[in-house]
Chain A
Amino acid sequence: MRVAGRLLFVCRLVRGDIKRRRVQSVLLLAMIATTTTTLTLALALHWVTDSPFARTRAATKGPDVAGLFEPGFHGNVGTYQQFVALRRASGVLASSGPYPIASLELSARGHLVRVHAEGRDRQSAAVDQPLLTAGSWAAPGGVVIERGFADALGVHVGDPILLNGRQLAVRGIALTSAVPTSDPLIWVTRSALLASADKSRPLWYALNLKLSDPASVPAFTNAHNGGPNTAWFLESSQGIRADDSATISEEQQLLQVGSALLAMIAVAGIAVLVGGRMAEQTRRVGLLKAVGATPRLVAMVLLAENLLLAIAATIVGVVVGRLIAPALTSPGNSLLGSAGSPALTLTTVALAAALALAVAAAATILPALRGARTSTITALNDPARPPQRRPRLTALSARLPVPLLLAVRLAARRPRRMLLSIASMAIAVATVIATLAQSHATVLGVQIAGNILAASRHNSVDHVANVLSVILLVIAAINLLFATWASVMDAQRPTALARALGATPRQITAGLAGAQLGPALIAAVLGIPIGLVMYIAADGNEATAHLPILWPLAAIPITLIAVAALTAIPARIGAHRPIAEVLRSE
């Protein structure tokens, strides 16, 4: 009965507090949810290439070992006959090829691209039979184009192309799990290949092997790859998978960096949030103790409230993460199907929940400990950390116009909050700058190399970087809103007093918003070099990190305008609170 009574008491207090502080509760929930969303994304993407590759491999009779005879490329040790003899090597169950391969120039839709063309038979192959996703198989006068390359090139079935100057048509678009080279791949008939190939250059040959024991693939490739000067190279299916997922690996790396940044930005935001709530919570602790609640019960009330928000945030974060993931996991048009919704594993949910619970615990422990340590009367009467005094800034601000005077003095009251705001905004600005550098590098890369397939892969990485930037900007905006709101609440009395002494609401609004503009300016100035360093550190090309000077410089006014717009509403609300009500409440 006593336990039921306590539970009822706790539930009532939690419900009442959440209802009374809706804005704060929603902001806390949003902040934790955004962090758990990104964590979910990062974890989900970790395994994303496995299932599409496996599906593609099964549908295309993917080889366990793909061999490429390329005389003169690495060396000349070993003959074509020895290479072909690998079909009869011990452990080989089935094979296809050798298929001739030539490096040709393909021209379509205004692009001129060097491709590797593979000469194929009309009959279906026992191993590595590309899966047509559109059109029909290679025939005289027509080619089949690998899907990822076709998408990058923007060609469809029926479109004309020029292959080494010969007019052909796209007959089909297909997938394969055996990409012999890093260049774009097309399939033509053997006769068309021989007719188009440069006679002065030797042809290469592709051989696909299926082994009786898939576990013996590494041993097989090691045994038959020969020395460093061998004329052929054998690659295992695992190696091919690693090549295919290289793009996704870059995205995983980006997401991991993004998660770390988000964790930092979220910690900054949560520190502001917890600090902002501290005064109120400490007063509440004092009140609860005054009416007879034990420190344990008080801690229970705080924990229950924060836990409720954390659980809701975990659910929102995991669901949103699952919904967003497919938008990030469709880089491989060369694989069968999109990655789809990543699996929602127990580990993912558990880690997201652990993160949310850690935040809830942090938000509980500090006020609970502080409340338990301080006397009831002190907790009731003197809950807030006294604002800091900055004599030089105060003296300097006396020379400024009223809005700036107020802005400087309001910002100087809470330097730690200001530092957290700077950190949060600097991370957001840095990420945007790094993303811009990445996009700029892609554009330059396309202009210099004309490599459409590489550009397509870069676009995919850009896509992830853009989504991350948006998420970071959103959480930075939430941080900023909360920091402004915390400043508005914290400065209620001084701003009401300033109005009583003659400051206009507009001056107060400008002062409150201006208190965020100083940190925003510092954040923008710091964020630009940090962003460029982030880009270079993430294997970006230093030469292409030099954006046109106006781009990073534009980040400064854009940040200031965005911050002014975001903070205007809470500042305006703060500047219009009834003066008498605030002064009377003291």
Chain B
Amino acid sequence: MNSNSSVLSARELVKDYGSGAALVRAVRDVTLDVASGESVAIVGPSGCGKSTLLYLLGGLERPTAGTLQLAGVQLERLPEAGLARLRRHALGFVFQAFHLVDELTALENVELPALLAGASPHNARVRAVELLARVGLADRVGHLPSALSGGQRQRVAIARALVNEPAVVLADEPTGNLDGAATTDVLRLFEQLHADGQTLVVVTHDERIAATADRLITMRDGEFMDEARLTGGSARSLGAMTGLEG
């Protein structure tokens, strides 16, 4: 992959925690290029450093060494405020634990990043309604997260990640807290996003979601061990394959 055409590019990324005898190298010399519209799945066992890598790619953590470029901007040199501004427009996050604001409704959660990015309340509301309809929650806009199922919460989180039309969506174990049916819903959504040309980087240990990606990277002990280009599956076929759907 040519880094010049990459929307996200990492070179020899290293992330250390602790020092001396207690030093832990969570990410070791990782190099990655993600092209616009590409879907990349990073799989590996728990504790292999994949979530840390995702946080590094999203500018939520600073690398110990290496360089990182997102939408043409060098991340490692940016101050905190610059990183925050970049995240507003260039990145969308989907977390395993959803991370919705408990006291805000589904609609208010989705419009929050748009308001933070300076959108007018009207435009933010219109966009949020549209996205909630797109993720199949048009009838749940006024519900609080506590009144939604796990799958519905994750769909709200996905709508929130898309509200500012980011260059890249980073997803950390998006199906990790979901049951079978909810997983299928989320798989379908990711497939739809991919089909719409959304650039995706998904960290997961769920093979079903990994199978929908263009590229599958296996990670172990902080390093990339293996990389495979996939033809891309479909949620329906995967659902049938895994026995989740008939």
Assess the B60–A583 pair: CB atoms within 8 A.
yes
Q: Among the listed stretches B63-71, B84-92, B207-215, which one makes contact with chain A, having 4 or more residues with CB under 8 Å of it?
A: B84-92
Q: Among the listed stretches B30-38, B99-107, B181-189, B219-227, which one makes contact with chain A, having 4 or more residues with CB under 8 Å of it?
A: B99-107
Assess the A501–B87 pair: CB atoms within 8 A.
yes
Taking A388-B103, A394-B104, A494-B101 as contacts, is the C-beta distance between A580 and B55 under 8 angstroms? yes
Judge whether A446 is part of the interface by a CB distance below 8 angstroms: no
Judge whether A493 is part of the interface by a CB distance below 8 angstroms: yes
Judge whether A536 is part of the interface by a CB distance below 8 angstroms: no
- Give complex CA distance A494, B108 in Å: 13
- Give complex CA distance A504, B81 in Å: 5
Assess the A387–B117 pair: CB atoms within 8 A.
no
Minimal Cβ-Cβ distance residue in A for B117: A502
Judge whether B199 is part of the interface by a CB distance below 8 angstroms: no
**Chain B residues, Cβ within 8 Å of A502:** 84-85, 87-89, 113, 116-117, 164
Contact of A580 among B60, B89, B111 (CB under 8 A): B60
Judge whether B112 is part of the interface by a CB distance below 8 angstroms: yes
A512 to chain B, nearest CB (A): 15
Assess the A387–B60 pair: CB atoms within 8 A.
no
Minimal Cβ-Cβ distance residue in A for B166: A502
Taking A402-B116, A500-B93 as contacts, is the C-beta distance between A387 and B99 under 8 angstroms? no
Summarize B's interface: helix, strand, loop or mixed: helix
**Chain B residues, Cβ within 8 Å of A110:** none
Residues 568-586 of chain A: 1 if any B CB is under 8 Å from the residue's CB, otherwise 0?
Answer: 0000000010111001101
Assess the A578–B61 pair: CB atoms within 8 A.
yes
Taking A501-B93, A501-B113 as contacts, is the C-beta distance between A493 and B99 under 8 angstroms? yes
**Chain A residues, Cβ within 8 Å of B60:** 500, 579-580, 583
Taking A502-B113, A580-B55 as contacts, is the C-beta distance between A497 and B99 under 8 angstroms? yes
Judge whether A286 is part of the interface by a CB distance below 8 angstroms: no
A207 to chain B, nearest CB (A): 80
**Chain B residues, Cβ within 8 Å of A119:** none
Residues 483-526 of chain A: 1 if any B CB is under 8 Å from the residue's CB, otherwise 0?
Answer: 00000000001100111111111110000000000000000000
Assess the A504–B84 pair: CB atoms within 8 A.
yes
Summarize A's interface: helix, strand, loop or mixed: helix
B54 to chain A, nearest CB (A): 9
Assess the B61–A503 pair: CB atoms within 8 A.
no
B226 to chain A, nearest CB (A): 26
Judge whether B180 is part of the interface by a CB distance below 8 angstroms: no
Interface residues of B in 123-165 (CB under 8 A from A): 124-125, 144, 146, 160, 164
Assess the A497–B101 pair: CB atoms within 8 A.
yes
Residues 392-407 of chain A: 1 if any B CB is under 8 Å from the residue's CB, otherwise 0?
Answer: 0010001100100100
**Chain B residues, Cβ within 8 Å of A114:** none
Assess the B144–A389 pair: CB atoms within 8 A.
yes
Judge whether B12 is part of the interface by a CB distance below 8 angstroms: no
Assess the A386–B111 pair: CB atoms within 8 A.
no
Minimal Cβ-Cβ distance residue in A for B121: A398
Among A386, A398, A402, chain B packs the most CB atoms within 10 A around the CB of A398
Judge whether A46 is part of the interface by a CB distance below 8 angstroms: no
Minimal Cβ-Cβ distance residue in B for A502: B88
Judge whether A463 is part of the interface by a CB distance below 8 angstroms: no
21 pairs from A and B in contact (CB 8 Å cutoff): A386-B103, A389-B103, A390-B103, A402-B116, A405-B115, A413-B103, A498-B112, A498-B116, A499-B84, A500-B60, A500-B99, A501-B88, A501-B116, A501-B160, A502-B85, A502-B89, A504-B81, A504-B85, A580-B61, A586-B97, A586-B99
Give the 5 A-B residue pairs with the shortest CB-CB distance, closest first: A502-B88, A504-B81, A504-B84, A398-B121, A389-B103
Given contact pairs A502-B85, A502-B113, A583-B95, a sample of 10 additional A-B residue pairs in the complex whose CB atoms are under 8 Å apart: A388-B103, A398-B125, A402-B115, A412-B103, A499-B84, A500-B60, A501-B112, A502-B84, A504-B80, A578-B61
